[in-house]
Amino acid sequence: MRKLVEKEIVVATHNAGKVREINELLAPYGLIAKSAAEHGLPEPEENGTTFEENALTKAKAAMLATGLPALSDDSGLVVDALDGQPGVYTADWAEKEDGSGRDFSMAMQKVEDALLAKGATLPEQRTGRFVATLCLIWPDSHVEYFRGEAEGQLIWPPRGELGFGYDPVFLPNGHERTFGEMTSEEKHGWDGTPEDEGLSHRTRAFALFARQCLSK
């Protein structure tokens, strides 16, 4: 496992929510991290069938464009009753038909409608998880992956206006509030040390990354 000794990296995403969360997690490590959007980079086409493939696509494009180590995140919602959907197509479920952007209220309704079509009305029938895969690529094309998962259930109606994406319908196991009702600190659930795995999928992936590649 290679250590990240460089102090400047590019966070290979245009998703403002992800940029915010990743920068909050990076803050204790003294890294200078600008997003792909801040570098003026276009969004690469993601046509992979796994989180790892899509994460590599984004990280590699940012690394080649900037010459910097690049950290990307590909994440999604995996619902058991829907045979793992929306999975790698989580963001696609939010795409507006007119191509004008993403509407996650619509996406959450799609998930709910699909669950009802399956007859999944009881909590035990509505299990799922958020999955996040971080990909770190160096300018010499060395790659490392870090995967985190957060188990929970899908609730309806949505609760909370914090977070982003599908957070308002995801109730993590052992908690009474959705990710959408938690502050970012609560959602991270992390004390800032690599030994603590945290609560959210992204934090759990980041804790692995910190444990293996960073040192405070």
b/e 78-101 (16+ beta carbons within 10 angstroms → b): bbbbbeebbbbebbebbeeeeeee
- Cβ–Cβ contacts within 10 Å for residue 175, how many? 15
Q: Give the pair of three-digit tokens for residue 44.
A: 């690469």
Q: Which single residue is written with the structure tokens 């004008």?
A: 100
Quote the CA–CA distance of 155 and 206 in Å, as a whole number. 26
Mark whether 167 is an active-site residue. no
Given the residues 73, 74, 167, 196, the one annotated as active site: 74
DSSP structure string for 130-157:
EEEEEEEE-TT--EEEEEEEEEEEE-SS
Strands 32-35, 8-11: pairing is: parallel
Sign of the Cα torsion 135, 89, 129, 201 reads: positive
Give the residue among 86, 104, 87 at the shortest CA–CA distance from 95: 104
Known catalytic residues are: 74
